[in-house]
Chains A and B, each alone.
Chain A
Amino acid sequence: MSELSPVEVRNPELDDVPDVDRPWLVLVWNDPINLMDYVAFVFQKLFGFSKAKAHQLMMDVHLKGKAVVASCARDEAERHVFRLHEHGLWATLQQDE
């Protein structure tokens, strides 16, 4: 690599300032063990989705590998992830890009 290649400037202090405008996404990832009916039922139970919506999200997880099940403030997203982990689902949160 030459000395002239562009360098990305990173300022850790600035990068740590949360961007309040961008919501946090709760994602559920596909895994080979959780049963399809169980995943759909957990979505209904935790998020109050209709049967049809829960089924659709479950199918997204199954076929596309993941689905966004909530978009909210970070602390709320963490609570959702906690409840999903409690139910054995592979859930993560990340800030919307």
Chain B
Amino acid sequence: MGAEEPGPEPSPTLVETAPDRWRLRWADGWVASLAAALTSIVDHVRDQPELHLTDASGTTFRHDELVAVVSQSTDSVMSAVRSDELTTEVLVELGASAANLAIVANAAVAGGEGAGPDPLLPEGDQRRQGGLMAARDLFHRMAERIWTALDPGVRTLDDGRYELAWRAADRSMVRVLATELDRLLDSDDPSIVRLFPPAYGTDAERSAGFDALARYELIDRRRESLDVLRTAMDSGPLDGEGLAAVMRSVNDLRLVLGTRLDVTEEREPRVRLGDPDAAAVAAYMRLSQLLGQIVGALEDAGDD
């Protein structure tokens, strides 16, 4: 199965109390961890004048620039902790600050990729490295939490219906793939093999008998779900049944892409520069994320 790492307890929780109004709820002990994390980053950056950082785009930050980033991000985090409510704009800034702090902490850990501090270091340095790792993980989690809240994929409305909060790029990607799947459903293309497994396993004769009866109905159901998906992208909210149809179709698209990309238990797809499959891999990963958001919304409804 495609594994999703079980994440640590996501804190803080974020609730949208009104349009453009967000409330952060801090778990017990979280503010103390936050203060400790900030202290370990600020102290480390201050004590290491040779520290610099090159980000993913290749831009290098000198020490004085890092000090400025850390100080600005610390202010933003501290003011969020003191606020009862945040606007979306402030929340976006908080997410960026948390991400910055996670990046600086990660650079300061200096090669400490493992789960804990390097046991070969002197005790004081081990403690410092452990503190920086905890800070990195804490701010990484916080940034992730904020981005997920701002981009939920599926929003549950007060009347219990659901709204797809998809990006324009999602819509065009899904539209292209849905049109293609619609066309492939009647074919014997190898990429749709996962949509019609042999019902009797190795018993080919009985499997063929089942297929003769079931395939056209399965194709019809898949087309109906694809229609719901395509309509949903241009129109208003969906009820639970509609969202379940969207869920099945999004999974069908993943199954076709995953088959084509030859996804295996050992080989999770990763986007690599220059890879001719890069676009398909990116679509597969995004569809996986959207599917997770849909399942989350439907599960939350079931919990009530």
Residues of A within 8 A of B (CB): 27, 30-39, 41, 44-45, 58, 61-62, 78, 81-82, 85-88, 90-94
Contact = CB atoms under 8 A, between A and B. Distances in A.
B1 A30 contact: yes
Given A33-B254, A35-B288, A85 B2 contact: no
A39 B291 CA distance: 11
B218 interface: yes
Interface residues of B, number: 39
Nearest to B254: A33
A35 B2 contact: yes
Given A35-B288, A38-B292, 16 more contacts: A30-B1, A31-B194, A32-B2, A33-B254, A33-B258, A33-B263, A35-B295, A36-B2, A37-B292, A44-B302, A62-B1, A85-B196, A85-B197, A85-B199, A87-B251, A94-B203
Contacts of A85: 195-197, 199, 214, 218
A61 B1 contact: yes
Interface of B is mostly: helix
Nearest to B2: A35
A86 B218 contact: yes
Interface in B1-52: 1-4
Contacts of B201: 27, 92, 94
**Among B199, B201, B255, B299, residue most surrounded by chain A Cβ atoms (within 10 Å):** B199
Contacts of B254: 33
B142 to A, nearest CB: 23
A86 B217 CA distance: 9
Contacts of B217: 82
B76 interface: no
B299 to A, nearest CB: 6
A59 to B, nearest CB: 9
